[in-house]
Amino acid sequence: MTDNMAIERSRTVAVVGTGTMGQGIAQVALVAGHPVRLYDTAPGRARQAAEAITGRLGRLVEKGRMSPDERDAAAARLHVADTLEDLADAALVVEAVVERLTVKQELFTALERTVADDCLLATNTSSLSVTAIAAALRLPGRFVGLHFFNPAPLLPLVEVVSGFASDPAAATRAYATVEGWGKTPVRCADTPGFIVNRIARPFYAEALRLYEERAADPVTIDAVLRECGGFAMGPFELTDLIGQDVNEAVTRSVWEAFHHDPKFTPSLAQRRLVESGRLGRKTGQGWYGYAEGAERPVVPTEAPAPAPDKITVHGSLGHAEPLVRLIEEAGIKVRRHRRGHHITLPGGGHLTLADGEAVFEYEGEEIVYFDLAHDYTTATRIALATAPTTSPETLQEAVGLFQALGKEVTVIGDVPGMIVARTVAMLVDLAVDAVDREVASAEDIDTAMRLGVNYPAGPFEWAARLGYETVSDLLGSLHTRYPTGRYAPCLGVVRRDYEERAAMKGQDSR
């Protein structure tokens, strides 16, 4: 539908700023068939970038991803611009310079004096307001954000950001163009963090909060989110890769842009790490050490325990219902009971899916919480939580049960919501709020989170599996225990919870 809106392959694409991101964007446009011009204010930088891009095209030939003829044709389309005036015939100019508002505004003001009025202007900013950058322009309607992810030639996602003054036709043209380049674009309104950097904050923030609460150490939290939650990387190893200073700066920027909303509050622990100069892989030390010979800490894992010979399942376990089949397949006798939402162990202890409450609240009861998993069938690790009063026998029965299902078991501190459940509930909350504020569609948010940060499922996919009643109840319980506003469910989650309940009542009355 948008194909005929795309910029023609014969038209020139200009890239201003030839660092890593600028080079990546230029390579994408070049491989797609456009003539590409590179410009940089630093003398010789654009020529060096052109040579680097040509070298990468050669490596694509070596890997069989491009023919020698295609490489030669692409190299012939790549040109260096000595001045901004050399970009006069560009149909699209993408900027990837330093993240300073005045620098970007001055650049685009100068570009407007050079390019034609129908030239599409785009910024690759990840942290600044697209609206603010465009404010200095004579024709702000043709200005959009094209937020590529690094490395641009490899990662498919592009956030197409419409500023307050952006013309819808300009956003559609940008969308169609990057789609034609083989990318997966998503539409987004100009809001702090756009989609990915806004919605992803709880993935880092809840892990840091759990660490500050001494629920678990970084290696444990990472392992649980990977091996139980299904995430490709844990937040501590991921922020070490990104750079602690970079990740903390994005968090602080979003928090400040949202007027210090408690849902985006930065972490003091991460601030101290940055202040100490432990920025991650690039400095050789972050949450983990990266010096030669450094060893990753071992994930605390429970020793083997005997499996119970029978259990009782009370009511439905909801998202954890697949556990029943796994238990039966493990040869453990399962008895069903109508009421409740838990498993009773042989000794009388209750095994309950994390619900936002803490074990210590059940005084006199033998309770063991287990964490949410993306897929209980494929999860390789399960986290458990107990209170000091929980008997060793009850814990051993719970450990033995999950070990019989082929899972590694880790016991964490008694914190409401545990690790995965708390994180996922917050991701859903921010995603729903973004949709209701018309930042982006639910489909685009799910696409962005799967492709941009490699989540196992988008927030709305999680919500569909769990149900909004579960998400709302979990957040409500967390809000009761942490009454700062951080965990208060947004109105959209509460509304969807009511709608789901009403729909279920309507079905029951038929």
- The residues that are catalytic are 126, 147, 159, 197
CA distance 385 to 350: 12
Alpha helices in 380-419 (DSSP H): 392-404
From 158, 219, 211, 162, select the one nearest 191 (Cα to Cα).
Answer: 162
Beta-sheet strands, E only, within 266-318: 310-314
Residue with tokens 């998993």: 373
Two structure tokens written together for 423: 């994180």
Contacting residues for 152 by C-beta, under 8 A, at least 6 apart: 21, 24, 25, 27, 28
| 16: β partners | 39, 95
Count of alpha carbons within 13 Å of 155, Cβ hemisphere only? Answer: 20
Of the candidates 441, 438, 428, the one whose C-alpha atom is nearest the C-alpha of residue 472 is 428
Return d(Cα 281, Cα 288) in angstroms, integer. Answer: 8
CB 497, CB 468: distance < 8 Å: yes
102/111 Cα distance (integer angstroms):
14
Name residue 412's beta-bridge partners: 385
Could you tell me how far CA 17 lies from the centroid of its own chain?
26
Tokens in use for 505? 């009542």
What are the backbone dihedrals phi and psi of residue 433, each rounded to the nearest 5 degrees, phi first?
-60, -40
Check if the beta carbon of residue 225 is closer than 8 Å to that of residue 200: no
Give the integer Cα–Cα distance in Å for 366 and 342: 12
Helix (H), strand (E) counts: the chain = 19, 15
